[in-house]
Structure 1
Amino acid sequence: MAPFPQPQTGQVAALHSQRWFWKLQLVSWLGIIVTTFLSLTFWHSSVEWPHFEPGNTLFQCAIGFLLSLLLKPIFDVAWETPIALRSFIYLLAIGVISGIWTLVRMEAYIYLTGEHSLWAEFGGWYYASLFVFLFWSALYCGVKYSLLLQKEHDKVLQVAAFHEREQIRRLHAEAVAKEAQLKMLRYQLNPHFLFNTLNSINALIRFEQAAEARDMVVRLSQFLRHSLTEDPVNKVSLDQEIGAVLLYLDIEKTRFADRLKVKLDVEEQTRRALVPSMLLQPLAENAVKYAIALSESGGTIRIRTRRSGEQLLLQICDSGSPEDRAEPEAEEPVSTGVGLSNVRDRLSTLYGQAYSITQSRKQSGGMQIQIRLPFESRESNKDNNTIEVTA
């Protein structure tokens, strides 16, 4: 059996100031008085015990009460010693105090009765005294251990509550850091996209295509207004995200006209799926920059969405540039710059390991990017908006 936890000095000092000891004294000695009356006075009074027995019982218990006060400091001093030494000291103290109480009880009885032959029964009297003080000591140690264990339990609860508060603070700090990282990554897209678009407007102006440049500025302002109204941390429905990427592609159509074609293959049940805002725009921008802009005949950008079990599948591909068609067996896909790197970082921050993104070259030419995410959806509710996570 594991030993009881050893109390600290401060704990013992705190226990001294409590009133539990006096409650123990009152309860234990009242119990001894009642037991003595019931087992001796009422049972033997008519045969062996004289009429003074009630007063004698109260006197003996009063002496025992005072002697038990001497045991308390001895027990407290020995409390922090090793268990073997402590047990020896306790038993020795109990034996001595029991002997003293036995002598006092017998002297009082001899004084009241004049029966000097009583000393032959010393062993029986001592046994009864020893039993009483062993009972008292067991109560004292049991209550004291119980109180100390309760204090240790309270400390454990306090430590657990402290660690829980620290955990909450740490999670909050991580959430704040994650939110800041998402905002940084999300806002990184705005100057990147804006830089490319302004270059396109500048090119239109240089070639004296004022109407197209003016139309592109108007569409650019609409797109920026849309991007600013979206919280960079919150997710949006896939339907909204596709609307945003189509708004961007409308800006590019001002520049490329019929050279840029867009085809959508959106599964109906995926329209309510939640995705990070501005997820598809940087991928569409890469397709425009590395495929459509490099081809005199232009090309097609395809966006396809599917639900696969508890995952959302997003695909965006382009028809490629002339170089892609000339070298269909190229082993490594051409880098797509800031856009794909930004998307990877944002998905990693949001989903940890619960996502995948792959980039590959199609046999017919062009680049294909495929993203797999946990399928999350926002169910419409008249009272409130709830998010259903089915992954």
Structure 2
Amino acid sequence: MFKNIDDHNQQFWILHTLGWIGFAVVHYLGSLVHEMRDAYLMVVALDAYVGWLLTIPLRYIYQRTWSWHPVKMVLTVLLLATLVAVLWTIVKNYSYWEIYRHGFQPKNLSWLQQYLRQTPVSFYVILSWSGMYFGIKYYQTLQREKQKLLTATNRAHEAQLKMLRYQLNPHFLFNTLNAISTLVLTNENNTAEKMVTRLSDFLRYSLYKDPIKKVPLQQEISAARLYLEIEKVRFSERLKVHFEISEDASQALVPSLILQPLIENAIKYAVATQIDGGHIAISAKKFGHDLLLEVADNGPGVPLDDGLPKSEHSGVGLVNTRERLAALYDNNFSLVLTHNDPQGLKVNIRLPYELEATE
């Protein structure tokens, strides 16, 4: 019934109120087995209302304990449930003896005995409320993760289609095939054969890598080398490339083809537009719990505004990359553009450092 209520705060108040109303109804119906005066309805309503009030602060405290160690969280829940149960028992006894019994209290029970007898029942009710709260919150968390995974799947497939437009760009294929044809005409058959093999390997990697799955960075670097070696035939000495990949970074998991649009941008705007060509530097290193990736060039650069290109055409591939990262990592990533020194553009990506699970 709550699947259309997206506001979790609204869900809490509805379930919280319905739960205590249900408690009052069950408690009152159970009392009908015995002969009870009509005033007992007021007592039950007051008990449920006080329980409704006392458990509200627990919600905000439990929100803080959600990420705690399980043992610490359980001990905190038990302690808070005991404290609230004692307070609730005090109010219930007051309303029972002052409202329902009109001040009469059984002579055979002391004040302490009354509380010792009733507090465990209150404790079990508050503990049940706590258990339902954590159970519902855990269910909501699972639903959010399921929704995020579904969104990531859809976004990644959309991003794959967009990236294939770049990877299978007709100009790229035309230029590559033209370079191979030129090599054949000049009897450089060995070089032409190598280029065909590289093109085949690169296209195979581009087409068959699942964009949902993450791959070791070293595979991405191998694919980048294939692409750049193909482009080197086109640009010859005008294209210079430098890799600086640390050993621990090479084993880190990254989204497949995450570097490809950035390298294509560098080729398009930094190398192809300059008579003397350009230089592309690709680096990766581990920093704490993060993986830092960087693609830099010495091209003319672009005007930036808070780490984003002002001109829309210069951001080709960046939107796709950002969408994929947001779908896979939520807010736990960054993609920032900065000016290179002395000229050019840097694209910096920060991702969580992850390794492939070993059995």
TM-score (norm 1): 0.56
Structure 1 unaligned spans of 5+: 18-71, 95-129, 385-391
Q: 1:11, 1:148 within 8 Å by CA — same for their partners in 2?
A: no
1:90 and 2:101 are equivalent in the alignment: yes
Distance in 2 separating the partners of 1:271 and 1:80:
70
- 178-187 vs 147-156, which moves further: 147-156
Q: 1:362, 1:368 within 8 Å by CA — same for their partners in 2?
A: no
The answer for the alignment partner of 1:100 in structure 2 is none
The answer for the alignment partner of 2:321 in structure 1 is 343
- Structure 2 CA distance for partners of 1:16 and 1:227, relative to 1, 3 Å: farther
Query: In the TM superposition, what is the alpha-carbon distance from 1:308 to its structure 2 partner?
Result: 3.9
The answer for the alignment partner of 2:41 in structure 1 is 80
1:12 and 2:12 are equivalent in the alignment: no
Tell me the SS of whatever aligns to 1:80. Answer: helix
- Structure 2 CA distance for partners of 1:147 and 1:77, relative to 1, 3 Å: farther
Query: In the TM superposition, what is the alpha-carbon distance from 1:272 to its structure 2 partner?
Result: 1.8
The answer for the alignment partner of 2:293 in structure 1 is 314
> Which one has the largest radius of gyration?
1
- Structure 2 CA distance for partners of 1:87 and 1:267, relative to 1, 3 Å: closer
1:266 and 2:245 are equivalent in the alignment: yes
1:278 and 2:257 are equivalent in the alignment: yes
Tell me the SS of whatever aligns to 1:359. Answer: strand
Query: In the TM superposition, what is the alpha-carbon distance from 1:312 to its structure 2 partner?
Result: 3.3
Give the letter aligned to residue 180 of structure 1. Answer: N
Give the letter aligned to residue 243 of structure 2. Answer: L
- 210-219 vs 164-173, which moves further: 210-219
Query: In the TM superposition, what is the alpha-carbon distance from 1:288 to its structure 2 partner?
Result: 1.3
Distance in 2 separating the partners of 1:88 and 1:314:
71
Query: In the TM superposition, what is the alpha-carbon distance from 1:213 to its structure 2 partner?
Result: 8.8
The answer for the alignment partner of 2:229 in structure 1 is 250
1:289 to 265, 268, 274: 268
The answer for the alignment partner of 2:164 in structure 1 is 190
Structure number with higher relative contact order (C-alpha < 8 Å, ≥ 6 residues apart): 2
Query: In the TM superposition, what is the alpha-carbon distance from 1:215 to its structure 2 partner?
Result: 6.9
Q: 2:238, 2:278 within 8 Å by CA — same for their partners in 1?
A: yes
Distance in 2 separating the partners of 1:224 and 1:318:
24
Query: In the TM superposition, what is the alpha-carbon distance from 1:186 to its structure 2 partner?
Result: 3.7
- 263-272 vs 365-374, which moves further: 365-374
Query: In the TM superposition, what is the alpha-carbon distance from 1:246 to its structure 2 partner?
Result: 0.7
2:147 to 173, 197, 216: 173
Residues 126-148 of structure 1: per-residue CA shift (max 9 Å, x gap): xxxx84xx559x99998688657
Aligned length: 277
1:370 and 2:348 are equivalent in the alignment: yes
Query: In the TM superposition, what is the alpha-carbon distance from 1:266 to its structure 2 partner?
Result: 2.5
Query: In the TM superposition, what is the alpha-carbon distance from 1:356 to its structure 2 partner?
Result: 4.4
Distance in 1 separating the partners of 2:335 and 2:263:
18
1:359 and 2:338 are equivalent in the alignment: yes
- Structure 2 CA distance for partners of 1:242 and 1:292, relative to 1, 3 Å: same
Distance in 1 separating the partners of 2:177 and 2:216:
34
Distance in 1 separating the partners of 2:315 and 2:99:
81
Q: 1:265, 1:304 within 8 Å by CA — same for their partners in 2?
A: yes
- Structure 2 CA distance for partners of 1:85 and 1:260, relative to 1, 3 Å: closer
After TM superposition, the structure 1 = structure 2 runs for residues 1-391 of structure 1, keeping only pairs within 5 Å, are 8-14=24-30, 72-74=34-36, 77-81=38-42, 87=98, 90=101, 131=107, 135=109, 147=121, 150-151=124-125, 153-155=127-129, 157-195=131-169, 196-201=171-176, 219-320=198-299, 324=300, 336-351=314-329, 352-363=331-342, 365-378=343-356, 381=358, 384=359
Q: Percent identity?
A: 29
- Structure 2 CA distance for partners of 1:361 and 1:204, relative to 1, 3 Å: same
Distance in 2 separating the partners of 1:338 and 1:331:
14
Query: In the TM superposition, what is the alpha-carbon distance from 1:243 to its structure 2 partner?
Result: 0.5
Query: In the TM superposition, what is the alpha-carbon distance from 1:84 to its structure 2 partner?
Result: 6.1
Distance in 2 separating the partners of 1:144 and 1:168:
37
Distance in 2 separating the partners of 1:230 and 1:224:
10
The answer for the alignment partner of 2:10 in structure 1 is none
Tell me the SS of whatever aligns to 1:233. Answer: coil
Q: 2:179, 2:233 within 8 Å by CA — same for their partners in 1?
A: no
Residues 199-222 of structure 1: per-residue CA shift (max 9 Å, x gap): 435766998977899876653332
Structure 2 unaligned spans of 5+: 1-19, 44-93
Give the letter aligned to residue 73 of structure 1. Answer: E
- Structure 2 CA distance for partners of 1:295 and 1:88, relative to 1, 3 Å: closer
The answer for the alignment partner of 1:45 in structure 2 is none
- Structure 2 CA distance for partners of 1:197 and 1:218, relative to 1, 3 Å: farther
Tell me the SS of whatever aligns to 2:294. Answer: strand
Q: 1:348, 1:355 within 8 Å by CA — same for their partners in 2?
A: no
Query: In the TM superposition, what is the alpha-carbon distance from 1:242 to its structure 2 partner?
Result: 0.7
Query: In the TM superposition, what is the alpha-carbon distance from 1:182 to its structure 2 partner?
Result: 3.0
Distance in 2 separating the partners of 1:316 and 1:84:
71
Give the letter aligned to residue 78 of structure 1. Answer: A
Give the letter aligned to residue 151 of structure 2. Answer: A
Give the letter aligned to residue 320 of structure 2. Answer: N
